[in-house]
Amino acid sequence: MKKICISVGLLLSLWRAGYGQTVDLPAYEKRRLSLQEVNLVSGYYQQDGNNSAVTGGIGSEQLTDFAQSIDLVLKATDRLNRQHTLTFDMNIDHYTSASSDKIDPLTVSSASRSDTHIYPSIAWTVQNSAKRTTRGIALSYSTEYDYKSYGINLSFAKASADNNRELSLKAGAFFDTWKVILPAELRPEGYGSGAHGDRDPIDYKPRNSYNASLSLSQVINKRLQVLLTVEPAFQQGLLSTPFHRIYFQDGAETVERLPGSRLKLPIGLRLHYFMGDKVIVRAFYRYYIDDWGMQAHTINLETPIKLTSFVSVSPFYRFSHQSAVRYFAAYGQHKSTDTYYTSDYDISDFTSQFIGTGIRLAPPGGLLGISHWQSVELRYGHYVRSTGMVANSLTLLTKLK
Amino acid sequence: MNINVKTTQTTLLVGLIVLGLSSCVTVKEYQKNRINDAEMELSARKSEKFEQNFYLYREGAAGANGGKSGGGCGCN
């Protein structure tokens, strides 16, 4: 708890940095808080494969997920002509998973056969045009059947005099708690299943994550701008998933075991180029390395094409390759003398590709004659992984203004 | 000659960034009609929100793309 208080204190002091400077007061333009934008996002995701970590790296990875999200953006201008933006974001997703049903195959319905994930957040930013600064704070909460999280994020950005360059700093922390649900056959005597109505005790373990982000954006010319982001993150606590099974070479069985800390370093470069009058190239590259031995390269290319003034299509392609963490081995390949072990193919060596397209309609007078209904976008993507897993994703975005 | 591939890649990346930044021109506000286009915004699109979530669960690498870099969910 003491560590948490110190972390929050440090983050708040970072956010406060910069106050106390004198300001030239611009003309009084106070405007009351008003709703500026509403975004509704609906998503459907479905996957299948044969490397479920719940059953030790073999077995069905079938999963479907329905997700709903609504965010409300409210803006106000204060007496000092600073623009305040409040964003309320509410997300709910419900999934059904074949592998989670194997946690407790003896019961009719196990603890995590299906689950609902609810994660609201609230963000407040203050943009000071006179000083070209933006400060922000965001709080988040997330709850799943076996997982709870509280998050805080602080941000500060400063733009150059000509507004062609911006330096942005962010710092965040998540304070999470796992409910330690073990596979049925590996529970000690008297250990609870985690299911509703089971009064036997069950363990709770923390997982804390801290991240910082440094970004530099630059307008190169009238058509090109770039963004470089370095985002180190540190996690500690229970980083393994307690219901992932491991099968050793000698046939013995246990649960996944991973180190209690992980240091990650992703570096991303985004480049957006307006080509001619109708085509935009959105390119993104990320290099990733962590202290579990994983390295990854990710490239994303998307090219929105403006077919008319209010219709655009956005074909996209994403390629990613990651190396395995040093603790990974397939089903039945781990030695019982190993210190750490996982058969989770999500952190194995693989190449993934994601291809699809989006279509966006944004007529000048609003959709179907409704002036506030600014746009609608439908997006579909097909994901393939060299481990054999395939997935499909469909998203519908509706924007009201 | 033994060339370190990683060093070469890093040098190339840094070189490209330095070259890019050094070739910047001052763009006035009235010249930013293309830069200010909604599709040019230097962040992930809102419609990518759930895709970023599934990357976080299905892949080990995360962060530096506008999404989470770990924590806040029972993901990698």
What pLDDT is attached to residue B21? 61
Q: Is residue B50 situated within a structural domain?
A: yes
A283 inside 8 A of chain B by CB:
no
Q: Is residue B47 situated within a structural domain?
A: yes
Q: Label residue A194 by pLDDT band (50, 70, 90).
A: confident
B64 inside 8 A of chain A by CB:
yes
Q: Do A288 and B58 touch (CB under 8 A)?
A: no
* Cβ within 8 Å of A, B 10-39: 13, 17, 20-21, 23-29, 31-32, 34-35, 37, 39
A269 inside 8 A of chain B by CB:
yes
Give the model confidence (pLDDT) of A221-256 as tens digits: 999 999 999 999 999 999 999 999 999 999 999 999
Q: Is residue B74 situated within a structural domain?
A: no
Number of domains in chain B: 1
Give the model confidence (pLDDT) of A80-103 as tens digits: 999 999 999 999 999 988 777 677
Q: Give the residue with greater pLDDT, A9 vs B41.
A: B41
> In the predicted model, what is the mean pLDDT of chain A?
90
A140 inside 8 A of chain B by CB:
yes
Q: Specify the fold of A2-15+34-400.
A: Porin (2.40.160)
Q: Is residue B24 situated within a structural domain?
A: yes
DSSP collapsed to 3 states, chain A: CHHHHHHHHHHHHHHHCCCCCCCCCCCCCCEEEEEEEEEEEEEEEEEECCECCCCCCCECCCEEEEEEEEEEEEEEECCCCCEEEEEEEEEEEEEEECCHHHCCCCCCCCCCCEEEEECCEEEEEEEECCCCEEEEEEEEEEEECCEEEEEEEEEEEEECCCCCEEEEEEEEEEEEEEECCCCHHHCCCCCCCCCCCCCCCCCEEEEEEEEEEEEEEEECCCCEEEEEEECCEEEEECCCCCCCEEEECCCCEEECECCCEEEEEEEEEEEEEEECCCEEEEEEEEEEEECCCCEEEEEEEECCEECCCCEEEEEEEEEEEECCCCCECCCCCECCCCCCEECCHHHCCEEEEEEEEEEEECCCCCHHHCCCEEEEEEEEEEEEECCCCEEEEEEEEEEEC
- Chain A nearest C-alpha distance from B43 (Å): 8
For chains A and B, what is the number of CB pairs under 8 angstroms?
A: 196
**CB < 8 Å to A394, chain B:** none
Give the model confidence (pLDDT) of A284-326 as tens digits: 999 999 999 999 999 999 999 999 989 999 999 999 999 999 9
Q: Is residue B40 situated within a structural domain?
A: yes
What's the domain range around B38?
A: 5-58
* Cβ within 8 Å of B, A 348-367: 352, 354, 358
What pLDDT is attached to residue A1? 47
Q: Do A174 and B24 touch (CB under 8 A)?
A: no
- Chain A nearest C-alpha distance from B2 (Å): 22
Q: Do A209 and B74 touch (CB under 8 A)?
A: no
CA nearest to B52 within chain A: A393
Mutate to test the interface with A, among B34, B56, B75 (most CBs of A within 10 A): B34
Q: Report the residue from B24, B41, B70 with minimal CB separation from A264.
A: B70
**CB < 8 Å to A293, chain B:** none
Give the model confidence (pLDDT) of A130-140 as tens digits: 999 999 999 99
Report the percent of chain A where pLDDT is more than 70: 90
- Chain B nearest C-alpha distance from A22 (Å): 26
What pLDDT is attached to residue A195? 81
Q: Report the residue from A43, A163, A213 with minimal CB separation from B29.
A: A163
